Chain A
Amino acid sequence: MATALTRKDFVTDQEVRWCPGCGDYAILTAVQKAMPEFGIPREKIVFVSGIGCSSRFPYYMNTYGFHTIHGRAPALATGLRITRPDLDVWVVTGDGDGLSIGGNHLIHVLRRNVDLRILMFNNRIYGLTKGQYSPTSEVGKVTKSTPVGSIDYPFSPLKVALGANSTFVARSIDVEQKHLGEMLKRSHEHRGAAFLEILQNCNIFNDGAFNDVTDKGIKAEHQLVLEHGKPLIFGKNRDKGIRMNVMTPEVVQLGNGISENDLLVHDEHNLALAFMLANFDPPMPTPVGVFYSEIRPTYDAAVNAQLAESKEKMGAGDLKKLINRGDVWDVN
């Protein structure tokens, strides 16, 4: 039974072939750990991926899996989810797969709100093709394809998701196992397209890209953990916060007449706030957690409702009637 499953039940016999030290291992572990908690039988779970390092993921999950083509996993998963409402469908993608070649499919699956969990491993680099800059790489990045620095202005995956009318937008970090587990759980609970960006270290081509939020010594000063209904506080001593200065957020030091009451309180149902937080770039802290969530009818449910309604109104499809409809005549 589903409740009896453990992490091991979700491990395949396939050798994991990511580079030693890759952040993907941590994500795989977190997902395999989280799965038994969801209580879904393995045969009802499907992982669909595109192309890239992240997209090898399905081979390592002992569920149904489909490693497809570059950027198209959201479209493929849409066809599967619409026709198989009984399945729990996950999409695994990366910053190149999801935002570059597959950007179109990502925004459309989000706006339609297809009931899928979309994990985007963002390492801000192309790993599988050996180190070109990605659509999330920072301006000036020197890579094999940009020897004098990238001149592309990067995408923020979260802003893309929010701009595409996503109903669930969250961020976590590969090495933050506990937080990542919570975010996977929240993503799974969401009905609709759940978009989870996972900051992931590529130790070969972009090592340390997220050092400020992963280095044990300094991460507390740079991570802003979002919790619904709680003030935006961070720092090792939890002595810093985010306050609105008219229309502009600012970092303030608590004390000296500034208290928690002066701080912004996170509201994950506030789209404007979500956009503002998604805009936080250094020197502002990097928010992690659920930026935004809303309840909106899912596409797949609406499609199936139309089918059911049509069947109720017109009766089950009758092939003979269909073929014989319209102006017919008999030749004797």
Chain B
Amino acid sequence: MSVPPEAAGRTAEPHATGEGSLGRKVRAKREQVVIRFAGDSGDGMQLAGMQFTTESALAGNDIATLPDFPAEIRAPAGTLAGVSGFQVNFSSKEIFTPGDEPNVLVAMNPAALKANIGDLSPNAVVMVDKEAFTEANLKRAGYESNPLTDGSLDKFQLFQLDVTRLTTLALHDLGLSNRVVFRCRNLFVLGLLSWLYQRPIESTVKYLESRFKKNPELLEANQRALKAGFNFGDTTEMFASAYEVVPAQIKPGRYRNITGNTATALGFVAAAVKAGRPLFLGSYPITPASDVLHELASFKNFPVYTFQAEDEIAGVSSAVGAAFGGAIAITTTSGPGMNLKAEAVGLAVKVELPLIITDVQRAGPSTGMPTKPEQTDLLMSMYGRHGESPIPIIAAATPADCFECAYEAVRIAVTYMTPVILLTDGQLANGAEPWLLPDVDTLPPIKVEFASDPNGFLPYARDEQTLSRPWAIPGTPGLEHRIGGLSSENLTGNISYSPANNELMVRTRARKISGITREIPPTSVFGDSVGGDLLVLGWGSTYGPIREAVKQSREKGKSVSHIHLRYLNPLPADLGELLHRFKKVMVAEMNLGQLLKMVRADYLVDAVGCNKVQGRPFKVSEIVNRIARVLEA
């Protein structure tokens, strides 16, 4: 069987084929391909997917990824609950999402097939390890008959591969256990797909060399499996052609592939370096935020302090203590941890110390679906504290954008002496995209000036423009003073229960936060800034699907535009006026209408929602359809 050209990805224009460097085999061009790797959570699908992504990035494609793994570390082998997936979209054009429907599914066992088959595009390529389709595995996956033989996969291009047998053959003389050999299957598959899409495998070889530096036997095994897969593709009669996805038109510069959590960590380090202060992270491990802690723990030489606290509360409290001492203090968590941190965040609001609280949002309520993304913590970030306690909120739109947002959060926090909430989510955290590396020298300055003059020093005297109070750190002679959670007197900070003073302080802090609008650049409109039929408003990780959906709708001649917010509190000063330029406003978000409530309340605009809470990002088609319905209504 050979792959029909339309099956293995969106065909490039013009429909070019040509003689490749592969001897008798031809190469067909593809504009865009979406592959999903799926297997047991122990099958190494995340690794195969990440390496394929790196290979694709190095090949010059634009990429977007969507890892999808279970919360259980090792659910029972072969079951649906244990299926781990990794989707990568690579293209010769600019792309915004990991893709709605995979064109290629690699299923390492029956459960992986069953869990993913419903998502595929018509005529998609399905590759399976046929030896994994044993009676026992079929039963575990809940199949009553074998899908490889019962005709249920007829609408797909099915490839039954001998992955296990071929991997075993390639490694037979190494004297390894069956178990070890079995675990090299992911590299065989990676090799095969690397050939099929003409990806260079050097980066994977290099990765293996570094990963198995201390174990030459495993290095040899993994490299052999990789190359065996690659060579199998070249020599087998199974594939009529390999595919070429030519490099995308990408802004010139140096790139690396980056996940949101890594970008967040780097943004914080960059900000601390620019501020000339040590970075302190107080954190308690929680999915999907822990990788920020892991990343930062290896940057001690900057210096970066990481404190794995006894709980979420100690995580944020230790950060407040570090902020009092003059460090760039941050805490990282996800939804449940936000609830626990609320009281300490309220203290930071009251004593006006800089602090960044990163919430890598996940599906809730309660424990919910810890590895799946949602945007359901916006209103908690806005209002989830007792008392009047406004906090600036910044949300990242893409994995790479996490760098800028983390950096900006620190800049705002120290400029305004306030805690700042940074919202990302599980999709940004683990998703990856090419990151145009910033020029360190041109990052905006972050100015930290500690108070030092005892003459007329008052802990709550304020800067005329920003209304921020001085950062007066212990160790400074003559500035000894006390701060605390009790209501305090204007200027002196002494305990005060004066009614008028309390209102003055509450209103002053509110004015300080609303004044941050002066930091927000003019809002950019994708589409028609003069107005039109419909504006789609979004924030956070919905950027990709919204932008793609608006693009596609505009290509169909619809009057649709897109505004994507980074600053959620305060909202941009020009936003209200912009919203009123459009006949209709639709807010697309992965919750039941949180930003929607905010804009309706703030701007009296009769906006409608586009909402999803399935722990999965929007498909582009879902937003496209909703746009069409809203325009018709």
- Chain B's interface size range is 35 or more
Contact A329 B299 (CB under 8 A): no
Task: Kindly specify which of B325-333, B501-509, B513-521, B591-599 makes contact with the partner chain.
Answer: B325-333
Q: A78-B318, A105-B310 are in contact. Are A327 and B253 (CB under 8 A)?
A: no
Contact B270 A319 (CB under 8 A): yes
Q: Mostly helix, strand, loop or mixed at chain B's interface? A: mixed
Complex alpha-carbon distance, A59 and B486, angstroms: 11
Contact B483 A65 (CB under 8 A): yes
Beta-carbon contacts of B379-391 to A below 8 Å, as 1s and 0s? 0000000000000
Contact B313 A75 (CB under 8 A): yes
Complex alpha-carbon distance, A295 and B166, angstroms: 60
Beta-carbon contacts of A39-70 to B below 8 Å, as 1s and 0s? 00111101010010000001101111111111
Contact partners of A325 in chain B: CB under 8 A: 256
Contact partners of B629 in chain A: CB under 8 A: none
> Is B522 an interface position by the 8 A CB rule?
no
How close is B303's CB to chain A, nearest CB, in angstroms? 5
Complex alpha-carbon distance, A14 and B494, angstroms: 8
How close is A25's CB to chain B, nearest CB, in angstroms? 18
Contact partners of B251 in chain A: CB under 8 A: 331
Complex alpha-carbon distance, A316 and B302, angstroms: 6
Q: A69-B347, A329-B60 are in contact. Are A317 and B325 (CB under 8 A)?
A: no
In this complex, how many residues of chain A approach chain B with their Cβ under 8 Å: the count is 60
How close is A11's CB to chain B, nearest CB, in angstroms? 12
Contact partners of B483 in chain A: CB under 8 A: 65-67
User: What residues of chain B have their CB less than 8 Å away from a CB belonging to chain A?
Assistant: 54, 57-58, 60, 203, 206, 247, 250-257, 266, 269-270, 273, 278, 280, 282, 299-305, 307, 309-311, 313-314, 317-327, 329, 343-344, 346-347, 351, 437-438, 440, 474-486, 494-495
Contact A310 B301 (CB under 8 A): yes
With most chain A CB atoms within 10 A of its CB, the pick from B206, B299, B324 is B324
Contact partners of B484 in chain A: CB under 8 A: 58-59, 65-68
How close is A311's CB to chain B, nearest CB, in angstroms? 4
How close is A2's CB to chain B, nearest CB, in angstroms? 11
Contact A324 B317 (CB under 8 A): no
Contact partners of A211 in chain B: CB under 8 A: none
Q: A76-B318, A105-B310 are in contact. Are A328 and B301 (CB under 8 A)?
A: no
Count A-B contacts at CB 8 Å: 202
Complex alpha-carbon distance, A82 and B314, angstroms: 14
Contact B254 A76 (CB under 8 A): no
A313's nearest neighbour on chain B, judged by CB, is B301
Q: A79-B317, A105-B314 are in contact. Are A323 and B280 (CB under 8 A)?
A: no
Task: Kindly specify which of A83-91, A145-153, A227-235, A282-290 makes contact with the partner chain.
Answer: A83-91
Q: A66-B484, A323-B438, A324-B254 are in contact. Are A83 and B301 (CB under 8 A)?
A: no
Q: A319-B269, A323-B438 are in contact. Are A78 and B307 (CB under 8 A)?
A: yes
Given A79, A108, A306, A319, which contacts B321 in the complex, CB threshold below 8 Å?
A79
Contact partners of A68 in chain B: CB under 8 A: 317, 320, 347, 484-485
Q: Which residues of A from 74 to 107 have beta carbons under 8 Å from B?
A: 75-84, 86-87, 104-105
Contact partners of A43 in chain B: CB under 8 A: 474-480
A-B contact pairs, 16 of them (CB 8 A): A14-B495, A58-B482, A59-B482, A66-B483, A67-B482, A69-B346, A69-B347, A75-B309, A79-B323, A83-B280, A322-B266, A326-B257, A327-B54, A329-B57, A329-B255, A329-B256
A59's nearest neighbour on chain B, judged by CB, is B482
> Is A314 an interface position by the 8 A CB rule?
yes
Contact B255 A330 (CB under 8 A): yes
B58's nearest neighbour on chain A, judged by CB, is A329
